[in-house]
């Protein structure tokens, strides 16, 4: 079935200085809809009102036409990225595909080199359940892996890791405890080998890692990691709360402040580790 191409991308221009101040996408008469948004209190509405108070209207121009909705999203995002004085509240779709603004002076993973830098949550249960099945950072450090599982959300997170990616291990409630390089992508934990042997329950402090090893939907996936620097939880590198990531795996390649803190704390240089 042929995709309908009835979308367009439009821009609002301030006739007082010819500055583009809004980018949008739509079809039909959507481009004119903002002129009657005077019941809202947004920067866009304030700008339009200020222009109209001068006895004139914004200049409204279609930038690209005959687009599918997905194409319109992409063009819209490109314009939003390249304009620094917009009143758009949203950064638009495809945000993860675009280089963060104000980073052209930086070398960013995935944009300027092939691998990524991730904060990976190696959190342990604070109160193990009645069977004592929890995860353990000590296991990660000793056997050279990180793992996640139980739900597709978590397995997808650890499967994201590629050979050569850099991991900053974050232990919930404590801080950062290790910096490592991914050696091999994630595999079902029953297939993970340490010194040529499968992990056994008696090997691990946190036995939850193996508790669903034979269940393809619930099992942990383990990615092999060569740890560059590690510390125990009592010496974890504490950081400001905004850098305490709860999600399993978060790309931090553009978080300059955090990267500098981790470099200082672990005495490493990420650009020397990155491929």
User: In CATH, what is the architecture of 117-273?
Assistant: Roll (3.10)
C-alpha closest to that of 179 among 256, 237, 126:
237
Q: pTM of the predicted model, to two decimals?
A: 0.59
pLDDT tens digits, the chain, 275 residues: what are they? 457 899 999 999 999 999 999 999 999 999 999 998 878 889 999 999 999 999 999 999 999 999 999 999 999 999 999 988 899 988 778 887 898 888 888 777 678 767 889 999 998 754 444 444 478 999 999 999 999 998 899 999 999 999 899 999 999 889 999 999 999 999 999 999 999 999 999 999 987 889 888 998 899 999 999 999 999 999 999 888 788 877 899 999 889 999 999 999 999 999 888 75
CA distance 208 to 220: 9
Phi, psi torsion values for 208, nearest 5 degrees = -60, -25
E strand intervals along the chain: 7-14, 19-26, 59-67, 117-121, 145-149, 166-171, 175-188, 193-194, 197-198, 220-230, 249-251
For 93-116, what is the HEC assignment?
A: CCHHHCCCCCCCCCCCECCCECCC
User: In CATH, what is the architecture of 7-97?
Assistant: 3-Layer(aba) Sandwich (3.40)
Q: Give the start-to-end residue ranges of the domains of the chain.
A: 7-97, 117-273
Give the pLDDT of residue 109: 67
Residue entry with tokens 């590629």: 162
């Amino acid at each position: 079935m042929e995709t309908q191409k009835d979308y367009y991308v439009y821009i609002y221009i301030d006739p007082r200085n010819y500055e583009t101040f809004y980018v949008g996408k739509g079809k039909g008469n959507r481009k004119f809809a903002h002129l009657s948004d005077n019941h809202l209190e947004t920067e866009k509405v304030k700008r339009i009102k200020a222009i109209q108070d001068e006895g004139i209207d914004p200049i409204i121009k279609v930038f690209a036409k005959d687009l599918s909705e997905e194409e319109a999203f992409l063009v819209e995002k490109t314009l939003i990225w390249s304009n620094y004085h917009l009143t758009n509240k949203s950064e638009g779709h495809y945000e993860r595909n675009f280089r963060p603004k104000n980073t052209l002076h930086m070398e960013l993973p995935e944009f300027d080199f092939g691998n990524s830098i991730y904060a990976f949550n190696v959190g342990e249960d604070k109160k193990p359940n009645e069977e004592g099945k929890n995860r353990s950072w000590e296991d990660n450090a000793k056997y050279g892996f990180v793992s996640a599982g139980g739900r597709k959300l978590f397995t997808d997170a650890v499967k994201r890791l590629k050979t050569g990616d850099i991991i900053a291990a974050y232990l919930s409630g404590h801080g950062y405890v290790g910096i490592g390089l991914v050696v091999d992508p994630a595999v079902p934990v029953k297939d993970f080998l340490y010194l040529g042997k499968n992990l056994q329950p008696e090997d691990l402090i946190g036995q939850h890692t193996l508790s669903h090893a034979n269940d393809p939907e619930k099992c942990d996936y383990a990615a092999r990691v060569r740890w560059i620097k590690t510390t125990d939880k009592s010496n974890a590198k504490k950081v400001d709360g905004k850098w305490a990531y709860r999600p399993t795996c978060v790309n931090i390649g553009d978080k300059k402040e955090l990267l500098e803190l981790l470099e200082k704390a672990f005495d490493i240089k990420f650009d020397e580790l990155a491929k």
